[in-house]
Structure 1
């Protein structure tokens, strides 16, 4: 670690500002005398700098700048604080630097850092990030991704390296940083520079020291396992998205990830899609739009292939985020010789009957296309011995998503109704399968040639249909999601390995996969703690058998937008980016970007920067949406409840005034918003905040 004060002291050093410095010697506040705002060049003289070897991959340079009036005061950071003023050495004030042009000011300004007008109200802190080795940038927004939701406020982040471009590190030595020019050179050669929110001028040396130590520790947890650069040049590639997203809210994270990765995105979709017009805004999101008839018939694959072949530039990969186009997209990739998993794997994943058979016990599962076929199956005269219904059981469409038309059946008389509901959706058959009693989980996998690069397990608390008294009309629509999981470590390991083996056994070896499952015979169960908080707690009686993981369904894609974004915030892993890198066969960057944060506090899964709770807000009634305050409900909530605002990470409204909403859509609950909240204190606090957000959320729905 190198530390210094500048200018006027080329070879001088602070007395390290270490924690072992006596509190009495360092606790005095920085006092700012009344004075008009100084010129910018006068302000931009570093009071303090510190070079820290963060880890094998990075060093950082912290630079502290004081307001000019403070720098000119005899009382500012006086010798009793253990530090000499930057205006001089040994009590002597140089006269040649008062208003000399500052190269450091110019270096910061060239990066777009620093406020438009330097004021006398704050102590400014900058951190330059200096990679130990150079190479080619994996993505342009690397720092923004790794520093999201940093516990100390950030004013600006400037990434100095574009995606795919080469970065060459400079020399970092004590002789280089012993002058202001040397410090400016470090800023100029940094791969990225962070401007933190100003500190109050009343901050003491001890408080400043503690702040820098905390920032350094947090930076280490976010960067020490995350390489930014590859050793080999990265070829620029082009990728086709089969079915563009329905709106910018859902598609924004995908388009931004492609841009950050240096991937040129081509969208294939129906005529009239919102991304088709060749506007400046649309060109920010995609390189081109290929209007294609996407009718789901026998010719759709040929039409997509023809569109892609008609494009004059090479396309190196195809992908989709639409469940009903998994198989078609795999066939397109196979026909064009592009990276993909086997078509047969996708065919099994989208058919809930076939995927259930991967883990089925004889006589537990059946498939019917109508109520009449169900009656025949259950007829005493023709009873199929391979199916013996055991209640409760689940009935769902063999083709479907988002818990649409999924029913829990506890009595034989309700089975025909559940089958009728399931077969009416998408014109598909119904699968009848066991109901597995146990905590439900979402497990998200990033695989590379069968190797598990990253796995996240999140807990879904009980929904309507989980209740003991639930009827066939209750839904499995999720109500919340809590990350990371509170299942015992051994049960998480069981789920992880069981589900990975299923994926690999199907033929999925590389990509991102969202798997839903339940853990039977778990040692924990959902229970009210007596204070209104429902969460997983140890069972009073241990289960009679070892815990096992039971597959519910496989989605050969990242989790939906509502879950992928919270996962990125919690762990720092961008599933959309990983999905696209797998589709173009970029194994090196896929491996690099599948690394979560390195936080490891007690009681939290390693890699999660906090506990988080994703809350779904259901429509309170049927009718027309109104905004009485004129503000979107999420924004109105944050203004009305500032006590909740700082804990809300993501808030998304689905409706605008005039929209009509119902209680249910296609057999699933209708949601009007979702919010992600976090806690660095405890999982319990995250759950409590989530519940309070749900109670406090207000949306007006008028009768139609």
Structure 2
């Protein structure tokens, strides 16, 4: 059976691969084909599609104007209405623009480390009709002017990327000397966000103020947005710590969190301490490795979340809350416990009124700061939430559940308070992006590029999630991203380990949306007692409910621990 996707009116395609992006989960035994080119003009049907007497010529005219086709096996269980409802719920936004879309060029500073992590960015640019120029250091894999690289980017501009005060001017000069007209510039690398914003200011390109990026990058300045001065401190030595404690400028209330003030990656060196001795020990390690020193802040024992927000002209277009399962640092009293993520779930299980309150609290902080356009990935801890992580007495699975027997009143003013842990003034990472795009249909990389070139119309359309009646608002499924830690030192089989696990659970393997092993065969794994590292990530999806996808993730984890 062939099901054709037809344009509903005349217009210019907003994104040429929208069929694969939005209908990918419908594939299964079906085959998807898309026929569109970037920025293509489409003509809507001239015939009455409700007529039962379309002649062959009219049918052929309609087919020739199709944006794509879905090929389905036909059997007695086939239900055309289910397929039509599935399509309508996923193509839930206008995919045609009534006005022509001007071809634009966007520059990406730091072109991603490899093809796999970069491809979603390059593909989004291409299908949005954006010419992509990559700016990076000489020798980057995208620099050679090969056929493969030309398919991913229009041009490559080599530059000295040393992180110093002269970098913004070097970027601006390199762009000017390249003779490429740039309509916008962006980066996905935390440590370059400030420099790229300053470069955009020099080139008078669309950007949020570099001063906002400075606050977001420096965790001390971020903490000042919410916490009282005596609740947190930044130190570079034990002498600094003792001085501020003696002067009562800092009043430590244990447990506390200690972490690098700037930089830091994947919760590296983030530590919960119970007393001053533990505080001084971890602080010395951080200050030795990180020139910016250590940040000491309160530990909030409520649920941890990611809050992703798309903003345009100071207005919130889209929000998403991601539930993070407790880490070892949450469940252990020992200071050696790490805060490496163990798993995240979407859609969130928090009550809708709490989700709305949390997103408003975050927006009310980041927008006045100057973040009026773009995608923002914030990490948040809650206090006074109506929900807490608890183990289910039957299944043993840990998930959010009511913190008390008192029934929540949606009409009452929410008591929940969101404490910002970090403001990442960029989209979430590649794997979180895949998780969100599969679950809600929103492509954060596309949104970031459209914000960079100041295209608010397409940015708004890109921010519209699914509308599947049988699923929670905005979602087409429940999804779980599982983090599998390195368990012991030694030489690894790499991807073969993950393959062996999946071979033992074939019924779960078919529910895997994406997986990635961070080590290749023959690599030496670090000692977990010295370095906390993630071995692999696995994204699972289910239309059968949150508990079902959690159960699958738990089974994969147990099989991995056996291997």
TM-score relative to the length of structure 1: 0.76
Q: Deviations over 1:490-518 (max 9, x none)?
A: 21111110001111121100100000101
2:230 match: secondary structure: coil
Partner of 2:145: 278
Distance 1:502 1:345 in 2: 11
1:536 and 2:400 correspond: yes
Shift of 1:182: 3.0
Partner of 2:62: 186
Distance 1:399 1:466 in 2: 22
Partner of 1:651: 515
| Contact 1:522/1:543, CA 8 A, preserved across alignment | no
Q: 2:200 aligns with which of 333, 336, 340?
A: 333
Distance 1:543 1:346 in 2: 41
Aligned 1:3-152 pairs, distance under 5 A? 125-150=1-26
Partner of 1:114: none
1:564 and 2:399 correspond: no
| Contact 1:615/1:674, CA 8 A, preserved across alignment | yes
Partner of 1:447: 311
Partner of 1:411: 275
Aligned 1:209-220 pairs, distance under 5 A? 211-220=79-88
1:520 and 2:383 correspond: yes
Partner of 1:593: 462
Distance 2:457 2:249 in 1: 48
Q: Deviations over 1:531-558 (max 9, x none)?
A: 2211111123559992211111100000
Partner of 2:411: none
Distance 1:215 1:512 in 2: 32
Distance 2:538 2:60 in 1: 42
Gaps of 5+ in 1: 1-124
Shift of 1:634: 3.6
Gap change, CA 1:523 and 1:626, over 3 Å in 2: same
Aligned 1:165-180 pairs, distance under 5 A? 165-173=40-48, 178-180=54-56
Shift of 1:130: 1.7
Partner of 1:27: none
| Contact 1:407/1:418, CA 8 A, preserved across alignment | yes
1:238 and 2:105 correspond: yes
TM-score relative to the length of structure 2: 0.94
Partner of 1:101: none
Q: Deviations over 1:199-258 (max 9, x none)?
A: 3xxx33xx34xx1011011112112x3111111111111111111111112111111111
Partner of 1:83: none
1:222 and 2:90 correspond: yes
Shift of 1:639: 3.8
Q: 1:608 aligns with which of 459, 475, 486?
A: 475
Q: 1:575 aligns with which of 444, 448, 455?
A: 444
Q: Deviations over 1:110-166 (max 9, x none)?
A: xxxxxxxxxxxxxxx1111122222111111011111021275321322x3211121
| Contact 1:614/1:675, CA 8 A, preserved across alignment | yes
Pick which of 415-424 and 132-141 moved more. Answer: 415-424
Distance 1:284 1:508 in 2: 33
Partner of 1:477: 340
Shift of 1:367: 1.1
| Contact 1:176/1:183, CA 8 A, preserved across alignment | no
Gaps of 5+ in 2: 409-413
Partner of 2:321: 457
Gap change, CA 1:316 and 1:171, over 3 Å in 2: same
Q: CA RMSD in A?
A: 2.0
Distance 1:463 1:177 in 2: 62
Shift of 1:697: 3.3
Q: 1:154 aligns with which of 12, 30, 39?
A: 30
Q: Deviations over 1:336-355 (max 9, x none)?
A: 01000011100000000000
Gap change, CA 1:696 and 1:331, over 3 Å in 2: same
Distance 1:560 1:371 in 2: 34
- Structure showing greater relative contact order (alpha-carbon pairs closer than 8 Å, 6 or more residues apart): 2
Gap change, CA 1:177 and 1:676, over 3 Å in 2: farther
